[in-house]
Amino acid sequence: MRLAILGCGTVGSEVVRLLHEQSADLAARIGAPLEIAGIAVRRLGRDRGNLPVAPELFTTDALGLIKRDDVDVVVEVVGGIEPARSWLVDALRAGKSVVTANKALLAEDGAALHDAAADGGADLYYEAAVAGAIPLLRPLRESLHGDRINRVTGIVNGTTNFILSAMDATGAGFAEALEEATELGYAEADPTADVEGFDAAAKAAILASLAFHTRVGAADVYREGITEVTAADVASAKAMGCTIKLLCIAARGADATGRESVSVRVHPAMIPLGHPLASVGDAYNAVFVEAEAAGPLMFYGRGAGGAATASAVLGDVVAVGRNRLAGVRAPSESAYADLAVRPMGEALTRYHVSLDVADKPGVLAAVAGVFARHDVSIATVRQAPAGTESAGRGADAVLVIVTHTAPDAALAATVEDLRGLDAVRSIASVLRVEGGE
Ligand code: NDP
Ligand code: HSE
């Protein structure tokens, strides 16, 4: 079984190392030895430490390597949309199976890859694309195919989980926690994809596609990052017995006309400390799946890192290798349900709103009236007098309101109207709340 490895960076170098270290076991598990036919990189002269491969295997001609007759399987760990898409479509159409960790490409144009795999009769595996080392996609795409998944809630970005965990532990602000994450090597030099939620949104699209047998792309996912989360938000969450996490949530439900549909979103949210995801700290990932017959299932582990991600890549290589030897294909894409994706405004959620208000008669009634006008039911109200630690500067009082579940559009409109209320001096914090209702 001859492999073309595209990319030899954080993940690729560990794939190469593990292929070497475990070659005998991998051969025994597949039933044939694995050999590296070539490794495509961008810079031939880059120092790659003492990788256990012959230097002649490296090339900058990825396409030439893929097209070679002696290549059976293509492992793509380069990332990005192009040229990765063209390479993988070519490989799949030519009948070469593909293992990729490229969540950005799968979320942007997974359809092109799945269609090419079907055309070429080849396998497309991508376990490493979501939550790194955690075996998650195989359970969704195979083990749970006898069940009906209603909801997937996950922490799927390690960098932001590290930052939010640090903010929670130390009371630091976002900028300070990001600096620490960068110093420790968790955050990349350009952390935009992580902190703005693009990485988690790509993973959310992949999870939703598998869970609901529907093609969901990155553009279908509502996305908010964590850059606006403040130390005051974190303190507010603590006061409520909650913590803040960047969640990806994919849920089945009905649209405005009652038709079955899905909503897929990524945003920071308060979750109660008793929620299964609340104790997921540091840069760990975890995904909570709610299935009709199986009930709740929790997947936990390392979502990033060279060796952890390479473990998932090699698991796919073994699966692809076995299939090829047996002359069979993995189950192809399952998108038969073709459910509509609901806009964020129709997603059902709850809000936590913290207001700096004048402490005088009629204020609570005026505030409650705005909620009532938008048909949003209030679950709890807490008032802290001015001068207490949680009260905003210059405020007579701080009102903390948590709602019952309502459509996001109604909740957002409520907050907008509260801004215009004379009694409301400022809105100190608005956060969605998940779990606990
Ligand atoms: P790196 O940036 O560390 O490595 C990218 C590799 O691709 C490098 O070896 C680079 O070559 C090579 N490369 C870039 N452009 C080209 C090109 N045009 N032709 C040939 N080779 C090229 O990325 P990672 O290893 O971190 O990530 C790889 C993939 O894995 C991405 O899709 C990422 O999203 C995914 N992933 C990564 C995780 C992680 O923890 N890092 C976790 C889960 C998924 P050179 O070495 O010469 O620069
Ligand atoms: N940047 C990603 C993270 C890497 O922080 O989780 C894994 O996809």
Q: How many CA atoms lie within 13 A of 373 on its CB side?
A: 13
Q: Is the CB of 303 under 6 A from ligand 2?
A: yes
Per CATH, domain 2-136+306-326 is 3.40.50.720: yes
Which residue's entry shows tokens 């549909």? 261
Give the atom of ligand 2 at the shortest distance from the alpha carbon of 309: 7
Quote the CA–CA distance of 226 and 230 in Å, as a whole number. 9
Q: Write out the DSSP string of 75-137.
A: EE-S-SSTTHHHHHHHHHHTT-EEEE--HHHHHHHHHHHHHHHHHHT--EE-GGGTTTTS--H
CA of 66 to the centre of ligand 1 (A): 17
Q: How far apart are the first and last CA of the chain?
A: 52
Catalytic residue status for 103: no
Q: Is the CB of 159 under 6 A from ligand 2?
A: yes
Burial class (CB in 10 A: 0-12, 13-18, 19+), 41: buried
CA of 392 to the centre of ligand 2 (A): 35
CA of 77 to the centre of ligand 1 (A): 5
Q: Is the CB of 61 under 6 A from ligand 1?
A: no
User: Which protein residue has the closest C-alpha to ligand 2 atom 4?
Assistant: 304
Q: Is the CB of 419 under 6 A from ligand 1?
A: no
Q: Which fold has domain 140-301?
A: Dihydrodipicolinate Reductase; domain 2 (3.30.360)
Ranges for all domains in the chain classified under CATH 3.30.360.10? 140-301
pLDDT in tens, the chain (437 residues): 999 999 999 999 999 999 999 999 999 999 999 999 999 999 999 999 989 999 999 999 999 999 999 999 999 999 999 999 999 999 999 999 999 999 999 999 999 999 999 999 999 999 999 999 999 999 999 999 999 999 999 999 999 999 999 999 999 999 999 999 999 988 888 999 999 999 999 999 999 999 999 999 999 999 999 999 999 899 989 988 999 999 999 999 987 788 999 999 999 999 999 999 999 999 999 999 999 999 999 999 999 999 999 999 999 999 999 999 999 999 889 999 999 999 999 999 999 999 999 888 999 999 999 999 999 999 999 998 765 544 445 558 989 999 999 999 999 999 999 999 999 999 988 999 998 76
Ranges for all domains in the chain classified under CATH 3.30.70.260? 347-433
Quote the CA–CA distance of 278 and 247 in Å, as a whole number. 11
Measured from the alpha carbon of residue 155, the closest ligand is 2
Signed CA dihedral, 193, 301, 151, 143: sign only:
positive
Residue 314 DSSP code: H
**CATH code of the region 347-433:** 3.30.70.260
